[in-house]
Every structure is written in C-alpha cells, then in structure tokens.
C-alpha cells in the first residue's frame, strides 16, 4: 500500500504543475499511475501477500473450522455472550465470553474441547 501512496503523491505533485501540461500529458500521467496501482498485487511476491493476511508460517496447516461453528461449540459448553473470536495458527479458537456472571477468556481446541485460558 505504501508504494501506491507514494505514486499518488507524485501524481498530485505533477498535476499541480498541470497548467504547463497539455490534456494529453495529464491523461498519460493518470493512466500510468492507474496501471502501477492495479499491477501492485502482481508485482508483490505471493508469499508477501499471504503474510499481509495472517501471521502463520507457510507450513502451518489451517483447518476449515469457521467462527460460527466455534461460537456454537463454546455456547454449547455453557458460555454466553461469546465474542472477539480469532483463530490461531495452531487451529485453536480464542475469545471472550461470560460464565457465571464473569467475563472469561476461553479457547476451543481443534479436538472440540472448550476451556478457560490459563487453566
């Protein structure tokens, strides 16, 4: 995203001098900027793009469990107001919930076991 931002800044500086440019020149500058911005995903290596989406190592095997499934299992274990769910690279779901009137941190293992974190 940073290279794209720099391109836009440079384009704006060029366009400030637009009174000295013809319409054809302005169009060429804008078209070149649009091409650079559109090509950014192709230019960046695939590994770098993946790393932007998660912090898991390439060899981590993520299962197909979903947030609604994890929430349902946590609620079935007696927890209410399950929220802030996030999945770790180890396939454990972490979140917060209410149990006996107190907010607790909970975790769901890949095997389906629900427990309070820290136990």
The stretches in the chain having pLDDT less than 70 are 1-9, 11-21, 23, 25-26, 29, 36-54, 119
Give the torsion sign (CA, 60, 63, 68, 73): negative
Other Cβ atoms within 10 Å of 79 Cβ, number = 21
Mapped onto helix, strand or coil, the DSSP state of residue 62 is coil
Query: What is the per-residue pLDDT for 47?
Result: 43
pLDDT at 35: 73
Q: How many CA atoms lie within 13 A of 21 on its CB side?
A: 15
Q: How many other CB atoms are found less than 10 A from the CB of residue 16? A: 9
Question: DSSP strand E in 9-116: where?
Answer: 80-87, 93-99, 102-108, 114-116
Match 């898991």 to its residue by tokens.
Answer: 56
Predicted confidence at residue 52, as pLDDT, reads: 41
In this prediction, residue 79 carries a pLDDT of 96
pLDDT of 83: 94
pLDDT, position 50: 39
């Amino acid at each position: 995203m940073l290279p794209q931002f720099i391109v836009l800044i440079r384009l704006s500086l060029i366009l400030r001098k637009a009174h000295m440019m013809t319409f054809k020149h302005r169009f060429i500058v804008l078209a070149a900027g649009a091409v650079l911005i559109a090509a950014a995903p192709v230019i960046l290596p695939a590994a770098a793009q993946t790393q932007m989406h998660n912090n898991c190592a390439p060899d981590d095997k993520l299962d197909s469990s979903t947030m609604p499934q994890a929430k349902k299992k946590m609620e079935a274990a007696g927890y209410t107001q399950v929220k802030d769910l996030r999945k770790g690279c180890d396939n454990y779901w972490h979140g917060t919930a209410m149990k006996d009137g107190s907010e607790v941190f909970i975790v769901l293992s890949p095997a389906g076991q629900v427990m309070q974190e820290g136990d």
